[in-house]
Amino acid sequence: MSQKMTDLEYARYLSVLLLNSGEDCCSLCDFNRKDDICDNHKKREELKCPLDDDLCFVGMKRYAEKQRAN
């Protein structure tokens, strides 16, 4: 079970992680599937609309919470 992070805890975690790693944001998202692109990117490609930043934020935060619990 993952622990919920406050927004401040998540911002600190994300800042440190992104500044000190060679990973891109999508690899740090809970919605990213290794064998396929996420629905957010599919929607962007199919409908030619911008990425939903809120969806990316939520996915990255869920990923962070799972990593924190491990």
Lowest mean pLDDT among 13-17, 18-22, 48-52: 18-22
Q: What is the pTM of this model?
A: 0.69
**For position 39, what pLDDT does the model report?**
86
- Confidence bin at 2 (pLDDT 50/70/90): low
65 compared with 34, residue with greater pLDDT:
65
Question: Could you tell me the CA-to-CA distances from 27 to 36, 37, 43, 48 in Å, in that order?
Answer: 12, 10, 18, 22
Please, which residues have CB within 8 angstroms of residue 12's CB and are 6 or more apart in sequence? Answer: none
Mean pLDDT across 26-50: 86
- What is the pLDDT at residue 33? 80
Interatomic CA distance for residues 20 and 1, integer angstroms:
26
Please work out, in degrees rounded to the nearest 5, the angle formed at the alpha carbon of residue 64 by the alpha carbons of 62 and 68: 120
Residue showing tokens 């990213």: 32
Q: Give the residue carrying structure tokens 């992104």.
A: 18
pLDDT at residue 12 tops 70: yes
